[in-house]
Amino acid sequence: MSRALSSSSSPRCLDLRSPKYSLAAPICRASRFRISASRKIQVASTVDRRCFASAPPESFSVVNVDLGDRSYPIYIGSGLLDNSDLIRKHVPGRTALVVTNETIAPLYLERTVAALESSGELRVEVVILPDGEQHKNIDVLMRIFDKALEAQLDRQTTFVALGGGVIGDMTGFAAASYQRGVHFVQIPTTVMSMVDSSVGGKTGVNHPAGKNMIGAFYQPRCVLVDIDTLETLPDREFSSGLAEVVKYGLIRDDEFFEWQEANVEKLMAREAATLIHAIEKSCINKAEVVALDEREGGVRATLNLGHTFGHAIETGVGYGEWLHGEAVSVGIIMAAFMSERLGWIDQSIFNRTKTLLEKCRLPVQVPSLMTKQLFMNLMAIDKKSDNGQVRLILLRGELGGCVFTGEFDRLKLEETLDNYVTSG
């Protein structure tokens, strides 16, 4: 059950009351999740596999992102990379461009291209980018456009992102802007991209001065999560993605947080059923938030818990030095510390958060390179800033409660930086 979030007396402090969802009547042989509060939006369901003639015997679930005529399914399961019917259903036109990187290409490109080409009706082009956050920029983005133009891809083409969040964010932005918009499909291959970045349509690239500063909201036509691809994901990357999973529990889903506390060992052992549950619950939480506030007018900002501190760390130490989830983990702990110092949460919530992040093998200390001044400079250009004033997502009330606000005692922010910054 999602928690009702704490309200605030401040007019600039949004009341982030989240709707609850519950299990409703089964459809076919499976379950359907609904928001059971005032807004009855179907956010998630499990499809009848009979819809897909050549689907493999493995089962999969579907979480729907409800955005009216731009709604789309997130398919979650095993063996889905080879399920040609599933992907082809969402690739109209006669051409597709698969965007991936040097690490993922030898692992999963051949199968992805084979699935797309299986009908014999699609010409599939490929562009392989260099790997790493340091390449998430305008210069490397141009390589996607260069390839698309060289291959004479038209407006009916589909850009397919095969990879982690870097590839997904860049391909989505390329799809949003190539010939003013072409179709887009996400095939995430990291925990981070499966639980977060492939869903919700935030796309873009970094600027040397700040993370994701250039981009667009642009939704995919479907997200295909094949959990088998996680078999090759390095441990450090695996842990990184879990920072966002912990985030969902903290901002809106106390039961999910408690489930994580109870199942973290199985999660870290990559047990399939546990992994699938974590991905499904994360996608359901994200889909609900995105359906309520696609373009971050209010409640969507809560998905940024820890990110104001975290993005400052990623930019400050140099893109790629710290992984996104590592920086977010430290950001989450700083936000929790500050919330506790403000008297907004009990110390036990801070302690439980720290323990869970540590069990996910995530850092909870600021890198030594970060000075207080560097934090302040980088945080000032955060996209959530309002008229030069930093606004933060802070925890408030019971576990699962948070607020997005610029109305807090600035001394507590200073105190937080003083407590966590070790240098200069």
Ligand X SMILES: NC(=O)c1ccc[n+]([C@@H]2O[C@H](COP(=O)([O-])OP(=O)(O)OC[C@H]3O[C@@H](n4cnc5c(N)ncnc54)[C@H](O)[C@@H]3O)[C@@H](O)[C@H]2O)c1
Ligand Y SMILES: O=C(O)C(=O)C[C@@H](O)[C@H](O)[C@H](O)COP(=O)(O)O
Span of 1-9, 76-84, 130-138, 265-273 interacting with ligand X by CB under 6 A: 130-138
CB 136 → ligand Y: shortest distance, Å?
Answer: 11
Residue 335 has, within 13 A of its CA and on its CB side, a CA count of 30
Question: From the list ligand X, ligand Y, none, which binds 190 (C-beta under 5 to 8 Å, kind-based)?
Answer: ligand X
Return the SS3 of 96: strand
Of 19, 163, 164, 200, the one binding ligand Y (CB under 6 A) is 200
Q: Does 196 bind ligand Y (CB under 6 A)?
A: yes
- Among residues 183, 300, 341, 396, the one annotated as catalytic is 300
Q: Does 212 bind ligand Y (CB under 6 A)?
A: yes
Residue type, position 211, single letter = K
- Catalytic, 277? Answer no
- Catalytic, 286? Answer yes
Q: Does 232 bind ligand X (CB under 6 A)?
A: yes
Q: What is the CA radius of gyration of the chain?
A: 21
Of 2, 189, 219, 353, the one binding ligand X (CB under 6 A) is 189
# residues near ligand Y by CB under 6 A: 12
- Catalytic, 202? Answer yes
The secondary structure element, H or E, covering residue 167 is helix 165-177
* Complex with ligand X: residue 314 or 340, whichever CB lies closer: 314
> Residue 228 gets which letter from DSSP?
G
Taking CA 359 as the corner, what is the angle to CA 421 and CA 279, rounded to the nearest 5 degrees?
Answer: 110
Phi/psi of residue 179, each to 5°? Answer: 50, 35
Q: Does 133 bind ligand X (CB under 6 A)?
A: yes
Span of 24-32, 116-124, 295-303, 338-346 interacting with ligand Y by CB under 6 A: 295-303
Return the SS3 of 84: helix
Question: From the list ligand X, ligand Y, none, which binds 307 (C-beta under 5 to 8 Å, kind-based)?
Answer: ligand Y
Question: From the list ligand X, ligand Y, none, which binds 300 (C-beta under 5 to 8 Å, kind-based)?
Answer: ligand Y
Among all chains, which residue has been given the structure tokens 């999602």?
2
Q: Note the helical H segments in 342-409.
A: 347-359, 372-380
What residue ranges in 5-149 does DSSP mark as E strands? 21-23, 32-35, 42-45, 60-65, 72-77, 95-101, 123-129
Neighbours of 300 (CB within 10 A): 19
* Complex with ligand Y: residue 196 or 280, whichever CB lies closer: 196
Question: What is the Cα–Cα distance from 14 to 12, expressed in whole angstroms?
Answer: 6
Question: What is the Cα–Cα distance from 217 to 178, expressed in whole angstroms?
Answer: 14
- The site string for ligand Y over 375-404 (x = CB under 6 A, - otherwise) reads --------x---------------------
- The site string for ligand X over 89-108 (x = CB under 6 A, - otherwise) reads ------------x-xx--x-
- Catalytic, 236? Answer no
Question: What is the Cα–Cα distance from 266 to 26, expressed in whole angstroms?
Answer: 28
Question: What is the Cα–Cα distance from 202 to 196, expressed in whole angstroms?
Answer: 10
Question: What is the Cα–Cα distance from 325 to 307, expressed in whole angstroms?
Answer: 9
* Complex with ligand X: residue 44 or 227, whichever CB lies closer: 227
Q: Does 244 bind ligand Y (CB under 6 A)?
A: yes
Question: From the list ligand X, ligand Y, none, which binds 95 (C-beta under 5 to 8 Å, kind-based)?
Answer: none
Among all chains, which residue has been given the structure tokens 């599933």?
86
Q: Does 211 bind ligand Y (CB under 6 A)?
A: yes
- Catalytic, 324? Answer yes
Residue 299 has, within 13 A of its CA and on its CB side, a CA count of 23
Q: Which positions lie near ligand X, rule CB under 6 A?
A: 101, 103-104, 107, 131, 133, 136, 163-167, 169, 189-190, 192-193, 196-197, 200, 202, 212, 229, 232-233, 237, 240, 323-324
Q: Which residues are catalytic?
A: 180, 202, 244, 286, 296, 300, 304, 307, 311, 324
Q: Which positions lie near ligand Y, rule CB under 6 A?
A: 196, 200, 202, 211-212, 244, 296, 300, 303-304, 307, 383
